[in-house]
């Protein structure tokens, strides 16, 4: 695997939520702040992260692109192609472009860059802010093992990363990219249910959060299939079974399936919106 340290300069175009998370993760992992640059359409955002981390703040994307050997595209998907058009002429030969933009294919991004520019598509998620992210990595037609390894190395500073075919990226978006919101939604509902049953909100929150955290850790560390782990908690005729039957009556599994399918469709729509500009 190629280390991100082999590339002397890296600029994050769009240091908002995910861009900012990656910058902070890289600095925390030991990458020299002087080798990282950031841009943002809001001056206060780029200046704040520069002050917090010691990285360089650039006033415009083209200047950052001319400076960096690696560009992380972290702007909103609908703005991404416009940013690429803006920086294309400024890119130095061999610049690697790593896209964090949901729904935008490598081929589409490549069409707005100089011929032969290596592009790697990445779908991260927000738990990266606490070093527990999950990212799917897909190299474009001009990206080889070196650029693929670079992207994996970068995302591994804030969690885990897996390499997969690009045609699975919409599914990755629906499961891990948007997935934290589903978990937060479930925890929110569980807390409200606890309050309804007489628990204080702080206690209900602590119980729900630790239960989700511990359950995920159990699956991760033991490798137990989720169905088997569920069965281990479910005694015949017991309280857990009653709760699960209620969930089945409300078609929870079908709702989750529908949610994932809706997310996949929306990811495809983002590509269409970006093309239309």
> Which residue is it, tokens 């500073």?
157
Write phi, then psi, for 105 (nearest 5 degrees): -75, 160
Rounded to whole angstroms, how far apart are CA atoms 72 and 83?
A: 12
For the chain, domains (ranges, CATH) are 4-164 (3.40.50.720), 179-267 (1.10.3730.10)
Q: What is the mean pLDDT of residues 245-263?
A: 97
**Range 43-49 average pLDDT:** 94
Q: What 8-state DSSP symbol labels residue 54?
A: -
Indicate whether 44 pLDDT > 90.
Answer: yes
Contacts of range 187-194, beta carbons closer than 8 Å, 24 or more positions apart = 187/212
Q: Would you state the pLDDT for residue 270? A: 77
CB under 8 Å to 69, separation ≥6 — which residues? 7, 8, 9, 10, 92, 94, 95, 96
pLDDT tens digits for range 139-177: 999 999 999 999 999 999 999 999 999 999 999 999 999
Tens digit of pLDDT for each residue in 89-136?
999 999 999 999 988 999 999 999 999 999 999 999 999 999 999 999
First-to-last C-alpha distance (Å) of the chain: 36
Report yes or no: 159 and 127 within 8 Å, Cβ to Cβ: yes
Contact (Cβ atoms closer than 8 angstroms) between residue 38 and residue 19: yes
Check whether 2 has a pLDDT greater than 60. no
- Whether the per-residue pLDDT at 221 is higher than 80: the answer is yes
Give the pLDDT of residue 269: 84
User: CA distances (Å), 201 to each of 5, 112, 188, 211, in order?
Assistant: 45, 50, 11, 15
pLDDT value of position 3: 47
pLDDT band (50, 70, 90) for residue 1:
very low
Beta carbons within 10 angstroms of residue 215's beta carbon: 14
**Residue range 50-55: mean pLDDT, rounded:** 96
Does residue 39 surpass a pLDDT of 90?
A: yes
């Amino acid at each position: 695997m190629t280390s991100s340290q082999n590339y002397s300069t890296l600029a994050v175009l769009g240091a908002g939520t995910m861009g900012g998370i990656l910058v902070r993760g890289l600095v925390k992992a030991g990458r020299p702040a002087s080798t990282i640059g950031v841009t943002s359409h809001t001056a206060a955002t780029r200046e704040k992260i520069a002050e917090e981390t010691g990285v360089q703040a650039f006033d415009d994307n083209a200047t950052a692109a001319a400076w960096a050997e690696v560009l992380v595209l972290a702007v909103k998907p609908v703005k991404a192609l416009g940013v690429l058009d803006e920086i294309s002429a400024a890119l130095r030969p061999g610049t690697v472009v790593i896209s964090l933009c949901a729904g935008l294919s490598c081929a589409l991004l490549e069409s707005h860059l100089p011929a032969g520019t290596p592009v790697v598509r990445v779908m991260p998620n927000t738990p990266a802010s606490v070093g527990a992210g999950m990212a799917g990595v897909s190299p474009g037609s001009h990206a080889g093992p070196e650029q693929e390894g670079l992207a994996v190395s970068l995302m591994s500073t804030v969690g885990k990363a897996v390499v997969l075919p690009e045609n699975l990226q919409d599914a990755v978006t629906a499961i891990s990219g948007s997935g934290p919101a589903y978990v937060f939604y479930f925890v929110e509902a569980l807390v409200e249910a606890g309050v309804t049953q007489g628990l204080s909100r702080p206690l209900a929150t602590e119980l729900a959060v630790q239960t989700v955290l511990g359950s995920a850790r159990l699956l991760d560390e033991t490798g137990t299939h989720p169905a088997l782990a569920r069965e281990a908690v479910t005694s015949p005729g017991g309280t857990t079974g009653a709760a699960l039957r209620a969930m089945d009556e409300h078609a929870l599994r079908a709702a989750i399936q529908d949610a994932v399918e809706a997310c996949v469709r929306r990811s495809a729509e983002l590509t269409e919106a970006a093309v239309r500009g």
